[in-house]
Amino acid sequence: MKGLSIIIPAWNEGKIVYQSLKEVERVLDKLLRNLGLDYEIIVVDDGSGDNTYAEALKAANENGRIKVVRKENEGKGSALKYGFNFCSGKFVTFIDADLDLHPKQIPLFISYMKKYNVDVVVGSKRHPLSKVDYPLHRKFLSQAYQIIIKILFNLDLRDTQTGLKLFKYEVLKEILPRVLCKKYAFDLELLVNASHRGFKIIEAPVKLNWQRVSSRIKLKDVWRIFLDTVAIFYRLKILKYYDK
């Protein structure tokens, strides 16, 4: 079993995915060597309509640590869940292909997991040590969503949606089969399950450098996130689905 598995979902990232993978490789070769950990990268092409798959394969052909798989487009959450099937590391982390959250932060997450003896480390834009630069409207939506989450789930987290997260392999093995959301509410359902099943979760600071010109989240997506969030509440509190 390897030390760390990195799952990178990619949808229409053909322009950047090769360079992103080379950067992840460069950073982890240096930083994880100091921790005595080997790593693997699993790229999940989520039904891209461009050359994402070819560009990712190009990087994989240059580095045997990179695996590239693809599936039909169902959303980021579905891609992460699918990518876990190919993991062999005792730690598993998620990171976005655009590297708004740089991989050089991963060793900090590993140190938090070991120092505080927890099962999950969640990147939080609201951690007092975080340094974030992203659009005002995204800040507003994020804050409003966290208020809803606090009311519905009383989850002791200030941020569930930041893309960088670290899990022990056994945690994901237990909770992923119960996760039904395929898109944006995937992160919330994952953490609700982890908390519900008694796994220890801690937040860690992040440095976020927003690079996209326009947001991929549209008004209809906000409505779907809300519906998925209510569905998670229904499965947790009414159906007791996550207890099965």
What is the per-residue pLDDT across 144-189, written as a single tens digit (0 to 9) for each? 888 999 999 999 999 998 989 999 999 999 999 999 999 879 999 9
Share of the chain above pLDDT 70, in %: 97
pLDDT for 57 beyond 90 = yes
What is the per-residue pLDDT across 181-227, written as a single tens digit (0 to 9) for each? 998 799 999 999 999 999 999 999 999 877 654 455 677 888 899 99
Predicted structure pTM score = 0.91
Rounded Cα–Cα distance for residues 71 and 82 (Å): 8
Strands 89-94 and 165-168: antiparallel
- Residue owning tokens 């994901």: 172
Average pLDDT over residues 55-67: 96
- Average pLDDT across the chain, whole number: 92
What pLDDT sits at residue 142? 81
- Of the candidates 88, 64, 111, 67, which has an alpha carbon nearest to the alpha carbon of residue 4? 88
* Main-chain phi, psi angles of 22, to 5 degrees: -65, -35
Q: Among the listed ranges 28-42, 90-104, 192-206, which one has the minimum average pLDDT value?
A: 28-42
CB 198 within 8 A of CB 89: no
Amino acid (one-letter) located at 115: K
Strands 207-209 and 131-133: parallel
pLDDT for 132 beyond 80 = yes
Rounded Cα–Cα distance for residues 77 and 58 (Å): 25
Average pLDDT over residues 9-29: 96
